[in-house]
Amino acid sequence: MKKKVIAYNRVEKPVLEDLQKRYDVEFFKNIDTKKDPVFLKHLSQAEGIIGLELVVDRELLDQAPNLKIVSNVSVGYNNLNLDELKRRNIMATNTPGVLTDTVADTVFGILIATARRIPELDQFVKNGEWTSEAVEPDQFGTNVHHKKLGIIGMGRIGQAIAKRAHFGFDMDILYHSRTQKPSVEEKFAATYCELNELLSESDFICLITPLTPETEGLIGKREFQLMKKSAIFINGSRGKTVVEQDLIDALKAGAIAGAGLDVFEKEPIDPGNPLLKMKNVVSTPHIGSSTHETELEMSKLAAINLEAGLNGEKPPNLIDSSVWEMHK
Ligand code: DGY
């Protein structure tokens, strides 16, 4: 009998079809995972889960007595209760590496779009408002090149952003992260500093740290007040690393000049959210890694992780390797 696997939200089609040859895979999307009877039935038999942003908490795990592995199709894993998974000896994996450059491109794209007001001016042209040959100063943006970029979180993606900023845009780089990274400082002429200094010195502040209990609400009222009035804030991490109401207040009060946001406290964002009415906010629907090529690579890597776990082998991207020690 084929092993049961749940695929959730996003697994690229060729990967899903390939998995279906060897496993009894059921795909679910947009369901209430606490109530959907078909999902709960499969969950009770599933040995593996592969997918994006499925909230794996105690309640879900109570319904999954046969589960061996949860394979995230994402680098972030804030959807997983790692303590509870470990307690039950269930492996969890993510997809680092394959999306690094794509997410860095997205973040940098949003940064430029916000600084140069590209979406707003695109709308201006399309609305037929471009009537005089030369645009007026109130349509001017601000330079990106040669400015100071503060990066909060200097993991793989932070480093890929630093690379673009240093080699492509001659920017000065400040960074703050859990550990100081001498090799990054050398490669990209980056300077480590405390968060307060980064916030008050940077022209662009780019948040790219994972969401953890330590980083939840990391940027709020106090932090926005420390920023320059001309600062542009970019969030490419998770919505909950920012106190969204404080961001809204800071933008309304002119405490910062603008924001580029790929992630939000609630996703999909509520259409009534004031951020969506602000011209100095550029928003994208959590598309950090969403290119055809990268999503395929992520699905492939997640499938490799899943199959290893199902076959009793060590998955290459185990999040907490102490769980493997218990399996051995
Ligand atoms: C990731 O991989 O974490 C991306 O943000 C998609 O969720």
One domain, residues 267 and 179: yes
- pLDDT average per 10 residues of sequence, the chain (328 residues): 97 98 97 96 98 97 98 98 97 98 98 98 97 92 98 98 98 97 98 98 98 97 98 98 98 98 98 98 98 98 98 96 84
How far, in Å, from the CA of 289 to the mean position of ligand 1?
A: 6
Q: Is 117 among the catalytic positions?
A: no
- pLDDT value of residue 325: 85
User: Within this chain, do residues 254 and 125 fall inside the same structural domain, yes or no?
Assistant: yes
Q: Same domain, yes or no, for 176 and 303?
A: no
Q: Does residue 124 sit in the same domain as residue 176? A: yes
Of 286, 295, 297, 307, catalytic = 286
Q: Which atom of ligand 1 sits closest to the CA of residue 77?
A: 3
CA-closest candidate to residue 156, choices 37, 87, 82, 236:
236
- Which pLDDT score, from 0 to 100, does residue 246 have? 98
**Where residue 310 sits, what CATH number does that domain have?**
3.40.50.720
Domain that residue 64 falls in: 4-96+293-327
Q: How far apart are CA 319 and CA 50, in angstroms?
A: 14
Q: Is residue 21 part of a domain?
A: yes
Do both 174 and 260 map to the same domain? yes
Distance (Å, whole) CA 8 – CA 19: 13
Are residues 50 and 64 both part of a single domain? yes
Strands 48-51 and 3-8: parallel
What is the model's pLDDT at position 293?
98
The neighbouring-strand residues paired with 190 are 173
Task: Output the CA 306–ligand 1 centroid distance in Å.
Answer: 18
10 Å Cβ neighbour count for 151?
29
How many domains are there within the chain? 2
| Residues 98, 99, 105, 109, Cα dihedral to 10° | 170
Q: Are residues 259 and 245 in the same domain?
A: yes
Return the number of other C-beta atoms located less than 10 Å from residue 197's C-beta: 15
pLDDT for residue 326: 83
